[in-house]
Amino acid sequence: MTILAAADLLAQSSDDAIIDESLNVSDWIQAGIIVAATIVVAVVVARLVRRVLTHVVGPGFAAIVTARLAAYLIFLIGLFYALTSLGVQVGPLIGAIGLGGLVLALALQKLVENFFSGLILQARRPFRVGDTVLLGDHLGIATDIDSRTTVLRGLDGSTVRVPNSEVAAGPIINLTNEPLRRSELEVGVAYDTNLQAATECLTEALGQVERVSVEPPAQALLTRFGSSSIDFTLYYWHDSDVPTELATRHDVILSVHQSFAAAGITIAFPQVVVWSGHNEDDQPYLGRADIITASPGPGNQPAVPPALVRQLSRWRVRSGILRRFNPGD
């Protein structure tokens, strides 16, 4: 029904939007010049707005979107002015465009969702251009945001475009929002290791890595008894960018390995006991199979050996004292 109503309104507007038949070539040229000049002005204004906002609020998506909206608005104004110069009745045309825009919005719901999600990202500003962010499973440096996608430059040089609706609805991890970031590294030592000496050795190893920040200080803490080792967790701070994180982890692993080797401390590894399939005790039941009895249970009480019954019949209880029973008593 909505589509039929839009079609009727568009038909009415086409009848009302009368173009003067007396228009000549110069009128069409004039309208074309207006549209071309409008495009040039829109581009210039967009660049100026983006440059001003970049100086005021810093480089970010707010400047990009504001500049583009300003360019779109100027282009629409110039387009309507050009149509008016041709004698087109703009009022009915605007109404038809408005209803047609509603129909298109329903048909292009996903695109509209991405557009408004982009505006929400501009308002919240969870990250800026140049930040390293983790958006779902995508890790990269934010380079741009348009009406549909957020553009990332992957650490391997690839370009990733993530729909704005997914970015706004999912978790956003900004890795470079702060100058420093903490990383962790687990190290396991053998169970017979002097843990105090191992702690001092790890602390010294962390202090020898230049990329590890002095403040906050690095720590080596015992965390658990593992299946094959006693585990330490190393906590250390470094510059927040990913290349520095990877380089720092490399240096820490190298320093820990060298320090443990110099101190004679063994880095534990999973151990497996191999069974040959031969028991040391060849006859665990002494070669007898008649000693197995039924387990106690309802209706399955163990039988008392007759010898034990005869032995117990020789005893009786008198005045609460258990004593030997003699037939002559």
- Give the domain ranges of the chain: 2-118, 127-174, 180-263
Domain 180-263 belongs to what topology? Answer: Alpha-Beta Plaits (3.30.70)
Strand order through the sheet with 138-145? 159-163, 149-154, 138-145, 132-135, 172-174
- Whether 3 has a pLDDT exceeding 70, the answer reads no
- The predicted structure's pLDDT at residue 244: 95
| Fold assignment, 2-118 | Helix Hairpins (1.10.287)
Average pLDDT of every residue of the chain: 78
Q: What is the pLDDT of residue 144?
A: 85
Tokens 């100027």, located at residue? 74
Residue 227 pLDDT grade (very low, low, confident, very high; cuts 50, 70, 90): confident
Q: Is the CATH code 2.30.30.60 the one for domain 127-174?
A: yes
State mean pLDDT over 178-184: 95
**Confidence band (pLDDT; 50, 70, 90) for 17?**
very low
Whether pLDDT at 274 is above 80: no
Question: Of 132, 61, 167, 60, whose CA–CA distance to 142 is shortest?
Answer: 132
24-67 confidence digits (pLDDT tens):
677 778 778 888 888 898 889 888 988 887 777 666 566 777 78
pTM, entire model: 0.59
Q: What are the structure tokens assigned to 202, written together?
A: 């790890």
Residue 325 has pLDDT above 60, yes or no: no
Q: Residue 155 has what DSSP assignment? A: T
| Selection from 38, 62, 41, 42 nearest residue 52 by Cα | 62
pLDDT band (50, 70, 90) for residue 99 = low
Contacts of 46 (CB under 8 A, 6+ apart): 67, 68, 70, 71
Mean pLDDT of 129-158: 90
Q: For residue 285, which phi and psi values (nearest 5 degrees)?
A: -105, 20
Among the listed ranges 104-108, 146-150, 199-203, which one has the minimum average pLDDT value? 104-108
The per-residue pLDDT for 316 is: 47
Q: Which of 108-122, 152-166, 172-186, 307-321 has the lowest mean pLDDT?
A: 307-321
Of 72-86, 178-192, 238-252, where does mean pLDDT reach its minimum? 72-86
Give the pLDDT score at 59. 61
Is 123 a residue whose pLDDT tops 90?
Answer: no
Q: Taking a C-beta distance cutoff of 8 angstroms, is the pair 185, 175 a contact?
A: no
Check residue 82 and give its pLDDT: 78
pLDDT at 6: 47
Tell me how far apart the alpha carbons of residues 145 and 56 are, in angstroms, rounded to a whole number.
19
Question: Higher model confidence: residue 91 or residue 2?
Answer: 91
Q: For residue 153, is pLDDT > 60?
A: yes
